[in-house]
Chains A and B, each alone.
Chain A
Amino acid sequence: MGLDRLVEKISAKGFDGYALIFIRKLSNHVRFAVNKISITNTWDDATLHILLEKEKKVYITSLPYPLEESEDTILERALAALKNIPPREDYSPLPEPGNYPKHPEFDKNVVENPEKLNEIVEEVIDKTLSYGAKRVAGSLYANYIRGRLITSTGVDLEVEDTNVYIDVRAFIDKQATGHSSIAGRFIADIDVDYVSEKAAYFAKLSANAKKGEPGEYKTLLTPDAVASLFNTVGDSISAFSVDAGFSYFKDKLGQKVASEKLTIYDVPISKSGFIVRTFDDEGVPTKNKELIKDGVLKTYVHNRFTAKKFNAEHTGNAGWISPRVWELEIAPGELKEDELLEFLGEGLIVGNATYIRFQNYLAGTFSAIIRDGIFYVKNGEVKHAVRGLRLSDSMPRILQNIIGLSKERVQVYHWWLESDIPVIAPSIVVEGVKFTKAFG
């Protein structure tokens, strides 16, 4: 790879610091709808991200690799830009190398035999139909990533990783739908029977829905719905979001922001993690850590700039522009799967949540589209499916009103997670969640 020559040229041009991230990604994807494969995608992509510093000024460029311009052209353009950029008040130098955790095993076979994905999808379609669905749609991805990080402080790290995910949506008709997904690291993680049966089961249970009445309900959020809603927790806990005003955790550090039943971790290192990161984009070793402990906000996540600005420790969550949570893990509760409905007593089950939009980011007021299994429960039993409601509440209120979490958890990652953060999610029961309905 020609990165060594680029490093030499950067040094010769008089930059004070640099970081390079090279990423090669091979991916295969099968997309299906209406009981057939819509398209397959095959991607072979290589990108080089370059960060250059001079006199506390920072310039970033991302380019296809192999480079299409000479190194000199790229670096001269950076120097010209740096002349006109003011120094960063929150500047902090690139970190020194650290002690890095071991990267868990991965499975390069995920991209070695792409036709296998066709077979899996065809089996999922057949099985979901055999379980009673009328139509089935979804997506299956298999990704292989090879990366390298080099910095002017002596960091030189390489990594290889793989992940896979499938999501399946079953239909009885346009309104009666069920969803299931699996996110993992190995092709063997894809359990065809599980995703097919689950999606079909909830689609069938969603048939003959009655119009829902707006109001406040004790609500059981399934792991899919929890993952969508808690992506906004991941977003709000980034110090960049806090500084920008995009966060309902602004000025809440050390305060009780949720029910004492809620503990959340950032888990970049896990044998089964969909996203595994042993170092961040600035070369800082990552670590698993508490974000919210017994309802108290313990930390924001930081890169070098936000850490300086907030007078806080670097948390190993650097993106060059904005720090980010790698993967959220919600600590399990005590409710067994078969106790959830009894615990709920009377209320609603929400199978999935999408299209989360905030009216006020600081207050955390928002609404979300709910789908893929909304059920009314009374005396601990599902009475009927419900349609036409929208979850319209505030995230701080939902977090404070959590009254129970399941023991069992699922790793959730799929297309409509608002911020692309995988979540290890239990089912969560929340008191008094607000729902509205449309006029007409």
Chain B
Amino acid sequence: MEEILIHAVDYAIQKGAEYAEARFQKDVSNSIVLKNGVVETVSSSSITGVGIRILLNGSLAFASTNNWRERNSVEKVINLAIKMARGRKSSGIKFSREKTIIANIEIKPKKDPNNFPLDEKLLILKEADKALSSEKAKFPNRVILYSEMSTEKVFVNSEGSVIRQVIPRIYLYTFFAVIKNGRSDTRFIELGASRGIEALDEWNLLEKFKKEAEIMAEILEAPKAPEGVMDVVLGPEVSGIAVHESVGHPFEADRILGREGAQAGESFVDPEMLGKKVGNDVFTVIDDPTIPGSYGFYLYDDEGVPARPRYLIFKGTVNEFLNNRETGSIFGTGSNGSARASRFDREPIVRMANTYIAPGDMSFEELIEDIKFGVYIKTFGEWNIDDLRYNMRYIGKEAWLIENGELKHLVRNPVLEITTPKLYESIDAVDKNLEFFAGTCGKGDPAQGIPVYLGGPNVRLRKVYIYSG
């Protein structure tokens, strides 16, 4: 395999490219769909091939084929890429200089999904489905999607790097609807890890799902959330999505430079914001691909650059952006290992990995003890953010009224609709209970869904407006 990749790189250079890289990627997955307790689909897939990216006369061109064993087929797509790069005005693209790396990494799961019987997996999922119930309401619609995946990537470039990485992943998406007395609600839960079957054991699915079902049944009878300016505490699920959307995305250097303009959008962040104070000292946001077992785990990015934790906001100050080799050259910082490609046939672009708010020392009780009147938004349903990553909205699912430092009772649909600067500056405390949640982050054109963790501790916001949805 390395041989064909080396040939591809050599061939591209011989045809005139200034730089070339070739990436073999094999994504093998096995999936099960359980709908309303019934096994509906058992499937497998292999998405395999070679992608080649070249830089020629300051222009980038990417080409891929899944007929990678045939030299002719690989050469044919390289010729097309060369043709496309030559036949246009230079885009003036340069790459930052990075070290040459030789590495071979294989993460092995403790319990290999391939050696775990299908009937036992089905049993686990059926039991989990049964846990999505309560005597308090009906649960007429339930979907559980289970996927086990293995990604093998071999990267070779014209600077001499040869890197092989094999990472297993497991993912569980659960959706259910709950109905009582003509009132309904729906909830989705995502779990994921770069691990094997052992993750299923550690997620305590039965206990987790039972609790979720009971809470969702109770929410149907809960009073509406209060409206007005109040103190708000965001649970780890909500603080995680909030910093993914409002710190991670706007800190992607390609967005800052306008490259996503037509699609995911640009960013309210300007290069001049580096070094500016935007929040309190308790507010530190990290994106770290190297967390063992995390859903967004990798050790080398798809441009062959070593991964490391990126302190995007450090003690309330804008510290660094997410860079690949193209943006790292423009900013003069070099890459910080943020280039990821979802499949063999996608160009690597600037992405997050595992983005989270750093935890503090406080307990949850200490976090809420001086709140006279407020809301604790533990989980969320609807969310979105505008394409500059400035104007966001989260609607709570499990949410509690806080009175005199205590959780009083559940409330329905509190809406936090807030600007990003206001969110940053409103955070005045974080507790020590760091949790991570899995997600599939979307970006790019064509779209590239990639596995990420979103996380944080419980986070306190002072005096923000809550709508009742």
Question: Does B49 have its Cβ within 8 Å of any Cβ on chain A?
Answer: yes
A246 and B175 contact, CB distance less than 8 A = yes
A244 and B384 contact, CB distance less than 8 A = no
Question: Does B100 have its Cβ within 8 Å of any Cβ on chain A?
Answer: no
Which of chain A's residues 106-133 have a Cβ closer than 8 Å to chain B? 114-115, 117-119, 122
Given A358-B382, A369-B387, decide whether A42 and B77 contact each other with a Cβ distance below 8 A.
yes
Question: Does B45 have its Cβ within 8 Å of any Cβ on chain A?
Answer: yes
A44-B77, A245-B140, A369-B391 provided; 20 other pairs, C-beta below 8 A?
Answer: A36-B89, A40-B61, A40-B88, A41-B62, A41-B63, A42-B80, A44-B67, A44-B73, A45-B49, A63-B45, A64-B66, A66-B67, A81-B44, A115-B83, A168-B262, A245-B141, A305-B40, A358-B381, A360-B186, A436-B467
Given A64-B66, A246-B175, decide whether A42 and B84 contact each other with a Cβ distance below 8 A.
yes
Question: Does B449 have its Cβ within 8 Å of any Cβ on chain A?
Answer: no
Name the residue in A31, A122, A365 with the highest tally of chain B Cβ atoms < 10 Å from its Cβ: A31
Question: Does B92 have its Cβ within 8 Å of any Cβ on chain A?
Answer: yes
Q: In the assembled complex, which residues on chain B have CB atoms less than 8 Å from the CB atom of A30?
A: 84
B118 and A89 contact, CB distance less than 8 A = no
| Of the residues B142, B388, B393, contact of A367 by C-beta under 8 Å | B393
For chain B, give the interface size range.
35 or more
Given A118-B84, A440-B421, decide whether A42 and B61 contact each other with a Cβ distance below 8 A.
yes
Which of chain B's residues 242-288 have a Cβ closer than 8 Å to chain A? 257-263, 266, 268
Minimum CB distance partner of A32 in chain B: B262
| Of the residues B47, B88, B175, B393, contact of A64 by C-beta under 8 Å | B47
| Of the residues B47, B383, B395, B446, contact of A29 by C-beta under 8 Å | B446
Question: Does B65 have its Cβ within 8 Å of any Cβ on chain A?
Answer: yes
A84 and B119 contact, CB distance less than 8 A = yes
A45 and B65 contact, CB distance less than 8 A = yes
Stretch at the interface among B103-111, B189-197, B369-377, B412-420: B412-420
Minimum CB distance partner of B386 in chain A: A369
Given A168-B262, A245-B186, A359-B395, decide whether A174 and B388 contact each other with a Cβ distance below 8 A.
yes
Q: In the assembled complex, which residues on chain B have CB atoms less than 8 Å from the CB atom of A63?
A: 45-46
B257 and A37 contact, CB distance less than 8 A = no
Cα A397 to Cα B467 with chains together (Å): 20
The 5 A-B pairs at the shortest CB distance, nearest first, are namely: A245-B141, A440-B422, A137-B261, A245-B177, A359-B382
Stretch at the interface among B9-17, B31-39, B302-310: B31-39
Name the residue in A43, A80, A321 with the highest tally of chain B Cβ atoms < 10 Å from its Cβ: A43
Question: Does B447 have its Cβ within 8 Å of any Cβ on chain A?
Answer: yes
Which of chain A's residues 42-71 have a Cβ closer than 8 Å to chain B? 42-47, 58-66, 68
Name the residue in A34, A44, A68, A392 with the highest tally of chain B Cβ atoms < 10 Å from its Cβ: A44
Question: Does A86 have its Cβ within 8 Å of any Cβ on chain B?
Answer: yes
B382 and A40 contact, CB distance less than 8 A = no
Minimum CB distance partner of B426 in chain A: A440
Q: In the assembled complex, which residues on chain A have CB atoms less than 8 Å from the CB atom of B259?
A: 33-34, 38
Which of chain B's residues 39-72 have a Cβ closer than 8 Å to chain A? 39-49, 59-67, 69
Question: Does B469 have its Cβ within 8 Å of any Cβ on chain A?
Answer: yes
Question: Does B162 have its Cβ within 8 Å of any Cβ on chain A?
Answer: no
Q: In the assembled complex, which residues on chain B have CB atoms less than 8 Å from the CB atom of A114?
A: 80, 83-84
Q: Give 10 CB contacts A-B under 8 Å.
A: A29-B446, A33-B258, A33-B260, A41-B62, A47-B66, A61-B43, A66-B67, A138-B262, A169-B262, A440-B421
A321 and B417 contact, CB distance less than 8 A = no
Question: Does B166 have its Cβ within 8 Å of any Cβ on chain A?
Answer: no
B46 and A68 contact, CB distance less than 8 A = yes
Minimum CB distance partner of A359 in chain B: B382
Nearest CB of chain B from residue A431's CB, rounded to whole Å: 21
| Of the residues A356, A360, A367, contact of B185 by C-beta under 8 Å | A360
| Of the residues A31, A40, A43, A77, contact of B345 by C-beta under 8 Å | A43
Minimum CB distance partner of A437 in chain B: B417
Nearest CB of chain B from residue A360's CB, rounded to whole Å: 5
A41 and B347 contact, CB distance less than 8 A = yes
Q: In the assembled complex, which residues on chain A have CB atoms less than 8 Å from the CB atom of B426?
A: 440
Cα A388 to Cα B88 with chains together (Å): 38
Cα A333 to Cα B417 with chains together (Å): 36
Minimum CB distance partner of B183 in chain A: A363
Question: Does A259 have its Cβ within 8 Å of any Cβ on chain B?
Answer: no
Minimum CB distance partner of B65 in chain A: A44
Cα A139 to Cα B446 with chains together (Å): 9
Question: Does B76 have its Cβ within 8 Å of any Cβ on chain A?
Answer: yes
A39 and B43 contact, CB distance less than 8 A = no
| Of the residues A29, A34, A89, A440, contact of B418 by C-beta under 8 Å | A440
| Of the residues A28, A61, A88, contact of B44 by C-beta under 8 Å | A61
The A interface, classified by DSSP as helix, strand, loop or mixed, is strand
Minimum CB distance partner of B139 in chain A: A245
Name the residue in A33, A63, A243 with the highest tally of chain B Cβ atoms < 10 Å from its Cβ: A33
Which of chain B's residues 342-396 have a Cβ closer than 8 Å to chain A? 345, 347, 381-388, 391-393, 395
A122 and B63 contact, CB distance less than 8 A = no
B141 and A243 contact, CB distance less than 8 A = yes
Q: In the assembled complex, which residues on chain A have CB atoms less than 8 Å from the CB atom of B345?
A: 43, 45
Nearest CB of chain A from residue B175's CB, rounded to whole Å: 7
Nearest CB of chain A from residue B223's CB, rounded to whole Å: 17
Q: In the assembled complex, which residues on chain A have CB atoms less than 8 Å from the CB atom of B67?
A: 44, 46, 64, 66
Cα A31 to Cα B419 with chains together (Å): 30
| Of the residues A45, A139, A359, contact of B66 by C-beta under 8 Å | A45
Given A44-B73, A367-B382, decide whether A86 and B39 contact each other with a Cβ distance below 8 A.
yes
Given A44-B77, A362-B186, A371-B387, decide whether A439 and B419 contact each other with a Cβ distance below 8 A.
yes
Nearest CB of chain B from residue A128's CB, rounded to whole Å: 11
Question: Does B445 have its Cβ within 8 Å of any Cβ on chain A?
Answer: yes
B141 and A244 contact, CB distance less than 8 A = yes
Q: In the assembled complex, which residues on chain A have CB atoms less than 8 Å from the CB atom of B170?
A: none
Minimum CB distance partner of B424 in chain A: A440
Nearest CB of chain B from residue A108's CB, rounded to whole Å: 16
Nearest CB of chain A from residue B51's CB, rounded to whole Å: 9
